């Protein structure tokens, strides 16, 4: 039986939401009848494509931690490791709607695909165009010739960031989708699990990893990976994770990447920095430049032990979208700003369009 | 959908709306009792939450049945359970069972009570709703590997003029065998598909919960 700091498991998600709101009152609010949609206070606006990211709970700070100005407008919270329901997704979608369409972004899991598809149909009944984009960055979950079958894991961080930035720059729904597609195509992740997580309701380990062993390629819900091997050093594990990522991205001398070393829940920052040290060493040997790095917990798996390494191979656009300012509980880039001032000067202010006052154009 | 006045509904058969409520309460209790085992089965080849997901769904279903008017028909009760599963659950079980219950309810919209043929029609609705929503086929190592043999067995029994009780018992037995049979299958659907051959040797949790539901329904009508 695992020990957890929880109250009644039936209230777990509502208490998680209450805690996120009490901790981040300037960033977050909720909207809709289900009470499961966390919405950016300063995110959705007329004329901007609404960005909705989501999935099950248990991955904090994903997904609601990335709700805020310049990134996602709303996130529906599912139960632990379970997709949100269509009603919960629709609450988020309607909150994010700025009459330019809504893009749902989520990892490639059967449940999420079904629920978001039903939510798309429901959004259409409300007169809102919603489209779905699934992330597929997990190298270990399917071979390269079945790339569309892959799961979405920590690398969805990069895809969400890029889509959020493109939308914040007033790109159209089709353009935001294309930006997400480019980010997803340029992103690869591989993880390693050292110890199991346990469901709060049962307290029982989801799987067993004996002492002295690790599982390469395990999913963020404890889905079995590709190999169970004796535990190895940080450098040896990093080499195992980096090799397929490096080869699939086809990194060449002079390429630039963004790096995410992500802790799965109970692995120390100290260990994550050791992994990053080796990642940086390998990239430096190949004369690949690191544009930016994030090291910490960005997409967890309850209290699972282990880590993942994600790389996004950058081009000028992806780099600019990555650098675009955002202000969310889990990620801040650049200085917070007024969204109206931040709009590109040659783009009409959407609020004044709404007010129908041509003098402002 | 036009609503048939209650007085014009077909009233033959032993499964009244009250008996149907008892069946649903029995299946909820059986799922709650098996919660941890279903999570363990799911932990082996999936994400370990199937017992929790089904518990959330059946809790919502019980609440929906409590809120349904006393005069609600089996069709309306099925619709209420469908809505509960759809809104409360998420995961893959939410849309699958929501569509199943919706289709099952629609299949008996002309009935007040269910006889053998109508009970089988209701089961067909469940099975085909799940099949159409999820797109899985027989042998994919999913809940359909319990549902499909169950409706085949119930259909055969009904064709031989069996009682509702006998039809449900046949369905339950076939579902149980079907669920056990998934152990030897390699997954071709959902999260466990990624495992390939490593999924062999583990019973599919969705098929296991299907067998639990059908056993509970069969047990609930044993004394009819």
* The two three-digit tokens of residue A257, written as one number: 């990447």
For the four alpha carbons of B213, B215, B218 and B221, in that order, the dihedral sign comes to negative
Whether residue A331 is contained in a domain is answered as: no
One domain, residues A256 and A308: yes
CA distance A41 to chain B (A): 25
Residues 6 or more apart in contact with residue A238 via CB below 8 angstroms: A275, A278, A279, A282, A309
Same domain, yes or no: A180 and A198: no
Contact list, B46 vs chain A (CB under 8 Å) = 221, 223
- Tell me which of A186, A215, A231 is where a domain ends: A186
Residues of A with CB under 8 A from a CB of B: 34, 56, 78-88, 109-111, 114-115, 118, 141-142, 149, 151, 199, 201-202, 204-207, 219, 221-224
Domain membership flag for residue A324: no
Same domain, A258 and A153: no
Q: A89 with A174, same domain?
A: yes
Helix (H) or strand (E) holding A74: strand A74-80
ipTM value for the complex: 0.84
Q: Does A59 qualify as catalytic in the annotation? A: yes
Residue A338 CB-half CA count within 13 A: 3
- Whether residue A96 is found in the same domain as residue A230: no
The answer as to whether A281 is a domain residue is: yes
Element (H, E) at A283: helix A269-285
Q: Which of A156, A186, A216 is the last residue of a domain?
A: A186
User: Is the CB of residue A201 less than 8 Å from the CB of residue A223?
Assistant: no
The domain ranges of chain B are 12-220
Q: Burial level of B142, CB count in 10 A (0-12/13-18/19+)? A: buried
Longest dimension (CA), chain B: 55
Q: For residues B26 and B223, give the distance between their C-alpha atoms in angstroms, rounded to a whole number.
A: 14
A68 shares its domain with A193: no
Q: Which domain holds residue A226?
A: 187-315
Of the residues A139, A160, A186, which one is the last residue of a structural domain? Answer: A186
A360: in domain: no
Domain for residue A325, yes or no? no
| Same domain flag for A306 and A163 | no
Those of residues 128-187 in B touching chain A at CB distance below 8 A are 133-134
For A111, the closest of B36, B56, B90 (CB atoms) is: B90
The per-residue pLDDT for range A171-193, each reduced to its tens digit, is 999 999 999 999 999 999 999 99
Question: Which residue(s) pair with A326 in the sheet?
Answer: A333
- Asked whether residue A64 falls in the same domain as residue A198, the answer is no
pLDDT (tens place) for every residue of chain A, 361 residues total: 788 999 999 999 999 999 999 999 999 999 999 999 999 998 999 999 999 999 999 999 999 999 999 999 999 999 999 999 999 999 999 999 999 999 999 999 999 999 999 999 999 999 999 999 999 999 999 999 999 999 999 999 999 999 999 999 999 999 999 999 999 999 999 999 999 999 998 888 888 899 999 999 988 888 878 889 999 999 999 999 999 999 999 999 999 999 999 999 999 999 999 999 999 999 999 999 999 999 999 999 999 999 999 999 999 999 999 999 999 999 999 965 555 444 444 444 444 444 343 333 3
Q: Is residue A3 one of the residues assigned to a domain? A: no
Question: Residue B97 and residue B103: Cα distance in Å, rounded?
Answer: 10
Question: Which segments of B16-88 does DSSP mark as H helices, in order?
Answer: 17-33, 35-45, 50-67, 74-88
CATH number of the domain encompassing residue A230? 3.30.1180.20
Is residue A353, in this structure, part of any structural domain at all? Answer: no
Same domain, A39 and A152: yes
CATH code of the domain occupying B12-220: 1.25.40.340
Selecting among A59, A246, A276, A324, the annotated active-site residue is A59
Q: A141: which chain B residues are within 8 Å (Cβ-Cβ)?
A: 194
Q: Is residue A93 part of a domain?
A: yes
Q: Do both A176 and A199 map to the same domain?
A: no
Q: Give the residue among A345, A327, A324, A323 at the shortest CA–CA distance from A336.
A: A327
Query: Tens digit of pLDDT for each residue in B168-198?
Result: 999 999 999 999 999 999 988 776 777 778 7
Give me the pLDDT at residue A208, please.
87
Residue B114 C-beta-side C-alpha neighbours within 13 Å = 31
User: How many distinct structural domains can be found in chain A?
Assistant: 2
**Are both A148 and A221 inside the same structural domain?**
no
Residues A36 and A146 occupy one common structural domain: yes
Element (H, E) at A190: strand A187-195
The Cα of A246 is separated from the nearest Cα of chain B by a number of Å equal to: 22
């Amino acid at each position: 039986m695992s020990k957890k700091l929880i109250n009644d498991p039936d209230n777990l998600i509502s208490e998680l939401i209450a805690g996120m709101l009490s901790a981040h009152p300037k960033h977050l609010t909720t909207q809709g009848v289900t009470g499961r949609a966390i919405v950016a206070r300063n995110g959705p606006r007329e004329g901007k494509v609404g960005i909705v990211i989501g999935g099950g709970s248990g991955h904090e700070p994903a997904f609601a931690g990335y709700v805020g100005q310049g990134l996602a407008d709303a996130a529906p919270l599912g139960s632990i490791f379970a997709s949100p329901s269509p009603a919960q997704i629709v609450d988020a979608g309607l909150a994010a709607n700025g009459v330019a369409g809504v893009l749902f972004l989520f990892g490639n899991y059967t449940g999420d695909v079904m629920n978001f598809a039903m939510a798309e149909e429901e959004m259409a009944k409300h007169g809102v165009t919603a489209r779905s984009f699934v992330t597929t960055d997990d190298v270990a979950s399917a071979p390269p010739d079945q790339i569309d079958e892959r799961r979405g894991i920590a690398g969805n961080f990069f895809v969400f960031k890029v889509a959020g930035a493109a939308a914040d720059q007033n790109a159209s729904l089709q353009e935001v989708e294309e930006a997400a597609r480019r980010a997803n195509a340029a992103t690869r992740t591989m993880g390693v699990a050292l110890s199991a997580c346990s469901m709060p309701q049962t307290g029982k380990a989801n799987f067993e990893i004996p002492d002295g062993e690790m599982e390469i390629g395990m999913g963020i819900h404890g889905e079995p990976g590709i190999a169970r091997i004796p535990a190895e050093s940080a450098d040896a594990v990093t080499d195992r994770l980096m090799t397929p990522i490096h080869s699939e991205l086809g990194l060449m001398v002079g390429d630039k990447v963004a790096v995410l070393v992500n802790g799965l829940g109970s692995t120390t920052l100290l260990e994550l920095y050791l992994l990053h040290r080796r990642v940086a060493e390998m990239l430096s040997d190949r004369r690949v430049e690191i544009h930016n790095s994030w090291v910490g917990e960005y997409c967890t798996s309850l209290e699972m032990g282990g880590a993942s390494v994600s790389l996004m191979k950058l081009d000028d656009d992806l780099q600019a979208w990555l650098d675009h300012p955002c202000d969310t509980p889990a990620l801040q880039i650049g200085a917070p700003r007024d969204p109206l001032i931040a709009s590109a000067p040659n783009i009409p202010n959407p609020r004044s369009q709404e007010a129908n006052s041509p003098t402002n154009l | 959908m036009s609503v048939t006045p209650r007085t014009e509904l077909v009233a033959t058969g032993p499964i009244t709306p009250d008996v149907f409520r008892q069946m649903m309460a029995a299946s909820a209790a059986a799922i709650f009792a098996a919660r941890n085992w279903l999570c363990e089965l799911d932990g082996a080849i999936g994400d370990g939450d199937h017992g929790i997901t089904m518990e959330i769904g059946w809790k919502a279903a019980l609440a929906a049945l409590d809120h349904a008017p006393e005069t609600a028909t089996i069709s309306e009760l099925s619709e209420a359970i469908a809505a509960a599963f759809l809104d409360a659950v998420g995961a893959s079980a939410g849309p699958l069972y929501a569509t199943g219950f919706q289709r099952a309810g629609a299949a008996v919209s002309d009935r007040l009570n269910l006889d053998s043929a109508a009970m089988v029609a209701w089961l067909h609705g469940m099975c085909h709703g799940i099949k159409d929503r999820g797109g899985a086929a027989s042998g994919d190592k999913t809940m359909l590997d319990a549902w499909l043999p169950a409706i085949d067995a119930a259909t055969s029994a009904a064709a031989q003029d069996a009682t509702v009780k006998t039809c449900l018992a046949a369905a339950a037995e076939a579902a149980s065998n079907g669920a056990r049979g998934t152990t030897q299958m390699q997954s071709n659907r959902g999260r466990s598909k990624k495992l390939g051959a490593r999924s062999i040797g583990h019973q599919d949790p969705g098929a296991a919960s299907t067998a639990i539901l059908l056993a509970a329904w069969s047990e609930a009508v044993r004394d009819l």
